[in-house]
Amino acid sequence: MSRPDWLRTFLSVYRSGSVTEGASHRGLTQPAASQHLASLERVLGETLFVRKPTGMEPTQRGRELYAIVAEPLDGLESVLRSLDAGVAPAPESPLRFGSSPEYFAAEVVPCLVGLDLPVSVSFGSDPELFALLERGELDVVVSSSTPPRRSIAATTLGSKRFVLVGAPQAVPTGSFGSLEDVATWLTGRSWVSYSLELPLTRRFWHTVLGRPFAARLQLVAPDLRAVLKAVELGLGVSLLPTFVCKDALVVGRVVEVFPVSHLAPQEPWFACSRPADADRRAVSALLAALQAPRAPTAPP
């Protein structure tokens, strides 16, 4: 095996925090990956990892080597993938970004205006996106859960706030004097949700309305934009993030059933990347744009 292969294995182990997982990502056996690391350490004359109960902890020399080789190797892999696909490599590799499609459309696309930054987007669940980030197949991920690995750095972007919304024709205006009135009205009423498990919805009913979930689940659609459309058409009520429904609220396609955004459970947003990539121009530019305050189009 050549020295570039040793470096690829080093990169994979560094990002996964495990020789076994790093070997799996590279299509190697665990002994072969261990041999790559041993060969690289022998050439450098320094130890790159310390084995701990939590996984492979990089030494200072290991962190320094990662900072040097991560971007060039990622660029090389991008060129090789283009050649394998029969496509001429682009002059500048796009920044590879991952999030939910709803968040990307509402929050990230406006951040790209004026950046002159090529971006390639992948959508998926948080675990799927974290796995791609660890393997070096994504550069930045925005998630609502904390990264599972120490090899991923997370910056808090803010909190996801929620609004209880319904179609204008379905919500009686001015008839709710209390949360108890809201709970009574919602009991047995059609509800539209993102998932069958209803984790956030059940928590909202329990902590805010003071009773178990008692609405009638009418529609489950794993896309918040579809949930919003169903609410607009009167198929049910839902608890939606403000970034999904703020424009619909402004123009009156949906209305707020009762002000609960300050009471409903909130979820944080995290911008995640590999620590050694923090100084890459594309990564730092996008992270700065995501963290920059933006004036809301209207109150949520």
For position 40, what pLDDT does the model report?
93
What is the pLDDT at residue 10?
Answer: 92
Yes or no: say if 221 and 176 are a contact pair by the CB < 8 Å rule: no
CA distance 170 to 111: 35
Residue 88: the pLDDT is: 62
pLDDT of residue 100: 93
Q: In this predicted structure, what is the pLDDT of residue 249?
A: 96
pLDDT at 90 (0 to 100): 57
User: Which tens digit of pLDDT belongs to each residue from 6-24?
Assistant: 998 998 898 888 899 889 9
- Amino acid 295: pLDDT: 52
Spell out the domains of the chain, with CATH numbers in brackets: 3-84 (1.10.10.10), 95-157+267-291 (3.40.190.10), 162-256 (3.40.190.10)
Compute CA distances 251 → 110, 116, 134, 168, 255, whole Å: 20, 31, 41, 11, 9
Specify whether the CB–CB gap between 9 and 22 falls below 8 A.
Answer: yes
Q: Is 100 exposed, middle or buried (0-12, 13-18, 19+ CB in 10 A)?
A: buried
Looking at residue 299, what is its pLDDT?
41
Residue in this structure with the two tokens 């390639």, named with its chain if needed: 120
Per-residue pLDDT of 116-152, as tens digits, reads: 899 999 999 999 999 888 888 899 999 988 887 767 8
Give me the pLDDT at residue 136, please: 81
For 31-53, letters b (16+ CB in 10 Å) and e give: eebbebbeebbeeeeeebbeeee
Closest alpha carbon to 191 in 225, 227, 224: 227
Cα Rg of the chain (Å, integer) = 24
Residues of the chain with confidence (pLDDT) below 70: 1, 88-92, 150, 293-300
pLDDT value at residue 89: 60
The pLDDT of residue 159: 87
